A and B are shown apart, each in its own frame.
Chain A
Amino acid sequence: MGDVTVLAVSACDVEGEVICAPTDINELFEFTTPLFSIGGFNFTRTVFLIFAAMAIVLGALFVGLRRQQLVPSRFEIAIESLVGFVRDDIAKGVIGTAHGMRYLPYLLSLFFFLLVGNVFKVTPLINFPISSRMAIPAFLAMVTWVIFVFVGFAKNGFKHYFIDTIWPKSVPLALRWLVGLIELVSIFVLRPITLAVRLFANMVAGHLMLTLLLVSGVLFLGGVGDIGIKAGIGIVWFVFGLAIWVFELVVAILQAYIFTLLSAVYIQTSLEPAH
């Protein structure tokens, strides 16, 4: 833990500064040194965490649902209610009972992968959200995009889905081209980008705040022998960091939910495009 903490920041002059800011933000997020390499594939800490998140999701779901008890344990109840929440509130609630179940596997995968990946941000010893790496939100947003565009074309046909969207008959002719352009850009271009960036930015900001505050707290308090009374700043940073920690836990859960919910909303609007 001590080494990781120190490695997360560049040299910090606790005598001259009031907070330990990194010289380059990237170093908080990029673990370029591979743990090991397989055929040119660098198995970095982030890659390891991605697979760890996967393993946790698989393990939690397996342990939580394997026994099919009529009277479930507390853990089983927790897993079941999470799954039930995605099924009832997101899949059935948003997409509808008729089509919702078809997209349930995807929505469940999204929610659980992101939930674990996001909560990594505030998990002791890990302290790093894998969704703060653009690869994860970008990939998942692309999958959502492919699904809702495909569903839109498959369900409603090219004319009904695409032409009616960019040339909306219900809008007066003078404005039609403008509304159509806005719709075209917002649905087919902005949706996946905002979806990815919303998650990514939340995770980056949270990780940044936590690292800055907690590392400053630890380093200032640790340097008490050298800087004397100034180490008191460390207490402020540390307490503030712990408060943010609670807040970031909520954000982590919320962002997993929002990403899943919006994916469901996009799929739903493709099933029944507005007229």
Chain B
Amino acid sequence: MNNLKRRYMAAAPLVIAAEEAESGGLDLLLPETSELIAGIIAFAIIFFFIWRWVVPTLGETLSKRQEAERSKLEAAENTKQEAEQMASDYREQIAGAKDEATRIVEEARQAAETVRSETIARAQQEAEEIMTRARQEADAETARALAEARGTVANLSIDLAEKVVGRSLDRETQLALVDDYLAELETGS
């Protein structure tokens, strides 16, 4: 109860003040002079401050920020172009390297091919030479053997004929006869 009484007492001066003033809602609708003056002064100061400082500052900030944005965009654009340039350079280099590699491989293959074909050609040539030489030797041997045989056969024939006929023939003439005979045999057979 003590608590309550204190509240009443604290509120008492205001109750009296309210009763002194003209009661009724109309009071609320009428501007209080001191508040009106305060409101006019306060609003005028706010307006002046905003008019002279806020709006100009705002414009500056905005233009600064736009400027910054623009330069940032430009920088980004430049960087992008550089990157693209670098990328295309790299691509070119890589393509160049590929070409180079292909070329080197091709060259190597051609070289190998050349070496191979040269080697084969040389081997064939050598083989041919060897064969030719062998054939010539064989031919020579054959010819020689043939000549020898022919000589031997001729002599033997003459000796035989001499023995059969019993007289010596002109050796030269007889040899010619034998030769003719043999030649006939050769062509005939």
- Chain B contact-residue range equals 35 or more
Query: Is A24 part of the binding interface, using a Cβ–Cβ cutoff of 8 Å?
Result: yes
A50 near B42: Cβ-Cβ < 8 Å: yes
Whether the pair A14, B4 counts as a contact (CB closer than 8 A) is yes
Q: How far is the CA of A57 from the CA of B51 in the complex (A)?
A: 13
Partner of B10, one of A7, A112, A130, A140: A7
Tell me if B65 is interfacial: C-beta within 8 Å of chain A: yes
Partner of B43, one of A3, A33, A70, A109: A109
How many whole Å from A164's CB to the nearest CB in chain B?
31
CB pair B57–A140 under 8 Å, yes or no, is: no
Cross-chain contact A26 with B46 (CB below 8 angstroms): no
On whether A26 and B45 interact (CB within 8 A), knowing A50-B39, A51-B38, A204-B28, the answer reads: no
Task: Name which of A119-127, A221-229, A248-256, A265-273 contacts chain B.
Answer: A221-229
A11 at the interface (CB under 8 A from B): yes
B3 contacts A135, C-beta separation under 8 Å: no
For the complex, what is the distance from the CA of A152 to the CA of B4, rounded to whole Å? 60
Q: Is the CB of B32 within 8 A of A46?
A: yes
Which of chain B's residues 29-61 have a Cβ closer than 8 Å to chain A? 29-32, 34-43, 45-47, 49-51, 53-55, 57-58, 60-61
Convert B8-26 into 0s and 1s, putting 1 for each residue whose CB lies closer than 8 angstroms to a CB of A.
1011101101110101110
Q: Shortest Cβ distance from B58 into chain A, in angstroms?
A: 6
Q: Are B49 and A68 in contact (CB under 8 A)?
A: no
For A32, the chain B residues whose CB sits under 8 A away are 17, 21
Task: Enumerate chain B residues within 8 angstroms of A51, measured Cβ to Cβ.
Answer: 38, 41-42
CB distance from A230 to the nearest CB of B (A): 13
Q: Which residues of A1-53 have CB atoms within 8 Å of chain B's CB atoms? A: 3, 6-7, 9-12, 14, 23-27, 29-30, 32-33, 41-44, 46-47, 50-51, 53
With A9-B11, A113-B43, A135-B39 as known contacts, state yes or no: A27 contacts B32, CB within 8 Å: no
Once A and B bind, how many residue pairs between them come within 8 Å at the CB atom?
Answer: 153
**Beta-carbon contact of A108 and B54 below 8 Å:** yes
Of B11, B31, B51, B54, the residue contacting A139 (CB under 8 A) is B31
- A232 to B55 Cα, complex, angstroms: 53
CB pair B42–A113 under 8 Å, yes or no, is yes
Answer whether residue A58 sits at the interface, using C-beta atoms and an 8 A cutoff: yes
- Compute how far the CA of A175 lies from the CA of B65 in the bound complex, rounded to whole angstroms: 56
Cβ–Cβ contact A7 & B46, under 8 A: no
Q: Judging by beta carbons under 8 Å apart, are B27 and A11 in contact?
A: no
Measured CA separation A134–B36 after assembly (Å): 8
Q: How far is the CA of A222 from the CA of B8 in the complex (A)?
A: 13
Q: Does residue A104 face the partner (Cβ distance < 8 Å to B)? A: yes
B115 within 8 A of A: no
Return A25 CB to nearest CB of chain B, in Å. Answer: 6
Interfacial residues, chain A to chain B (CB-CB below 8 A): 3, 6-7, 9-12, 14, 23-27, 29-30, 32-33, 41-44, 46-47, 50-51, 53-54, 57-58, 61-62, 65-66, 68, 70, 80, 83, 87, 104-106, 108-109, 112-113, 130, 133-136, 138-140, 143, 200, 204, 219, 222-223, 225-226
Q: List 7 A-B contacts (CB under 8 A).
A: A3-B10, A26-B23, A30-B27, A70-B68, A109-B46, A133-B31, A226-B4
Which chain B residues have a beta carbon within 8 Å of chain A's beta carbons? 1, 3-4, 7-8, 10-12, 14-15, 17-19, 21, 23-25, 27-32, 34-43, 45-47, 49-51, 53-55, 57-58, 60-61, 64-65, 68
The 9 tightest CB contacts between A and B, nearest first, are A135-B31, A54-B42, A105-B51, A135-B35, A135-B36, A27-B18, A109-B47, A50-B38, A47-B38
